[in-house]
Amino acid sequence: MSSSQNSADILRATAARYKAIRDDCAAIDARTDDRTAAILRARLQQARMQYQDARAQYDTQIAAERAQRERDEQRRQHQQHRQHADSSRAGSARRDPEVKSYSMRGWWVCHIDGQTNNPALAPERCPTCGHTKCVYCHVY
């Protein structure tokens, strides 16, 4: 039995006890002596406190289990991401000898919009903003 199920059972039992005592107190009428009424009211107060404690314990347990599930899910997603990244790195390591490295020489970055431009395609003007390459544009 899980601890939240145990807490739920305790909560149900204390709630039933509290309701039974509350019903007994409601049945007090003018014929009941003061001592019996005081005893029933004290029992009601004790049952109410036990119910409130059980409810708080149950709520705490549920919140802790929910937080643990969220941590487990985040951990699982992180592991999947790491496995994917590792497999991507392993795959790129296998392909590295086949891939030719190209130089970025002559490429430039427009200082207006940050667009990286290929000199063969955009030698003088940025294709996105139309800015003419100037001394403020970074050239590789």
| Per-run averaged pLDDT (10 residues), the chain, 140 residues | 78 86 73 78 88 89 92 91 77 54 84 91 89 90
57-93 as b/e: b if 16+ CB within 10 A: bbeebeeeeeeeeeeeeeeeeeeeeeeeeeeeeeeee
Single pTM value for the model: 0.46
Name the region of 99 (left: φ>0; alpha: ψ -120 to 50; beta: rest): beta
